[in-house]
Structure 1
């Protein structure tokens, strides 16, 4: 007898329990059999499923490698034969979530944008070629107070350096 108890933190999604025998899903438990916590941010409801499965139903009375997984459903995927045949790599998945493997190939994430996110916009502030603007064209919100206007970097007062320290001297120690 295979006795299974599935526990998970309330904020972890568990919608199915899979019993895998020798690398193949032999049984899937879903639906109302799996308990869902009422408060996903609480501390109760960690026991999701408890049950027993006869090993003879799973293994046929022979030795077997048995794994129990719990979580969200695994997306379907397959190695579809291309013009070169099967290449051994998963190259087609359920791209639109309808449960069927699409023959359109793997979905790719959108390309990263190189746009700069500005805190304010001024005519001529966007650089012409470089993705990183020079200090004379960069604009930023100043201080966040309602009566302050955005300033260009070259309009800001210069910062004090170690030699300009009020205690005098070239360094912070006054020497």
Structure 2
């Protein structure tokens, strides 16, 4: 009986297996624009995309076909992306290099440098928000000790009292972060 229950559980578990496939795209230099044909969706690289691709959509050669896409750099350089995902992977990683010899490499390098600076700024803002949250937790605990109160402080309670919230949004090639 236990074997039957275990077999049914495994069968149910396999029926719920994920159909989500992940495609990570990097460009060299970074900051190129990913453009998905047919939808008009654009994203700045590096980017990770998620596709719901059930096994029934796998072709005879073992590959999935996704919408065609193009990678564009600021200079106008472009490469056609691979729109076939082959193998039993759930994750694929693609790296696209800017075509050698295309004019105005300096413009593409400036975009990459700007993107890197924005990513560093965002990371610093997130670290600052985390440090302020820890300081709020520590400050509440110290205040309780100074007033001869029991030092049993619940972190979720403190987090509700003093929560730093940051949200970021991307507008073209600029990341805007607001914290309050």
TM-score by length of 1: 0.22
Q: Which has the higher helix share?
A: 2
Q: Which has the higher strand share?
A: 2
| Higher Rg of the two aligned structures | 1
By relative contact order (CA 8 Å, sep 6+), the higher-ranking structure is: 2
